[in-house]
Amino acid sequence: MKISTDLAATDRRGMLAQLDPEQWDRLRALCSDIRNIPPRTTISVAGEPLDHSLLLLDGIAVRYVGSGPSHRQMVALQVAYDFIDLHALPLQRLDHDVATLTSATLAVFPHDALQRLVTEDKELALRLWRMTLIDAAIHRQWTYRVGGLRALAGMAHFFCELDYRLVSSGRGGEDGYRLPLTQLDLGDIVGISEVHVNRTLRQLREAGLCTFQNGFLQIHDRPGLSRTGHFDASYLYGGDAVP
């Protein structure tokens, strides 16, 4: 009872805005469970076969590659209403690890049920495909950010992307958003060391662009931050569009 109530209560924000109301109705009927996961918990590891996919309802999750000697690199960050690992449906296993950063609420969708639904409902299948492709577009932008931008621009770019996506998912605010990451986490995202994160954040602060403090990012100058990060939101395909 509680399960379907919970999912019904969530309106289709963020990435789920890709779906029609009826499509969302059909999809959420398949939810088998809702789980609360503590912060800093590994959800799934690379290589293991998966029989379900997870929709993030609240909190922040990350996907990352490389736990060995080379410092781990985050390859994706998921926010509310993102499917974390929908690509495991056609692929059956993951090529990366998934973990929560904050405490998180997850909706579980068994693959056999999903499989049946996408076979019946072609239009929904296409929308789900599309959602995974927007994920891929974000991947491309991350490659650009870590490979083509310097630390300052890269950090700004990341903050801009997340601002855009969080506003769209109802977690953003006028002057910024809650972002309970450590500076080490930010380093794994931008591809720089913890110490250099600190210096970069100071630069952004002293430039009057934004302040990252106490798990909150305060944006002072959106256009300036956007410019510094060479950020252009069109790669989000309105999938995380601000209405």
List interacting residues with its own copies (CB under 8 A): 46-47, 63, 65-66, 68-73, 75-76, 87, 90-91, 95-96, 118-119, 122, 125-126, 129-130, 132-137, 139-144, 146-149, 153, 190-191, 230, 234-235, 237
Nearer residue to its own copies within complex by CB, 216 or 235: 235
How many angstroms separate the first and last alpha carbons of the chain? 32
CB of 7 to its own copies, least distance (A): 24
Task: Tell the smallest beta-carbon distance from residue 9 to its own copies (Å).
Answer: 29
* Residue 182 binding partner per list its own copies, DNA, none, with a CB distance cut-off of 5 to 8 Å that depends on partner kind: DNA
Task: Say how far apart CA 59 and CA 10 lie, in whole Å.
Answer: 14
d(CA 154, CA 146): 6
Closest distance of CB 70 from DNA, Å? 9
**Residues in touch with DNA (CB under 7 A):** 71, 150-152, 182-184, 191-196, 198-202, 213-215
- Please report which helix (H) or strand (E) contains residue 185, including its range: helix 183-190
Contact of 160 with 240, CB cutoff 8 Å? no
- Are 91 and 115 in contact, with CB atoms under 8 Å apart? no
| Residue 50 C-beta: closest distance to DNA, Å | 28
Q: How many contiguous H segments (helices) and E segments (strands) does the chain have?
A: 9, 10
Strand order in the sheet with 61-65: 42-44, 97-100, 61-65, 73-78
Q: Which is nearer to DNA, 93 or 150 (CB)?
A: 150
Q: Which is nearer to DNA, 12 or 178 (CB)?
A: 178
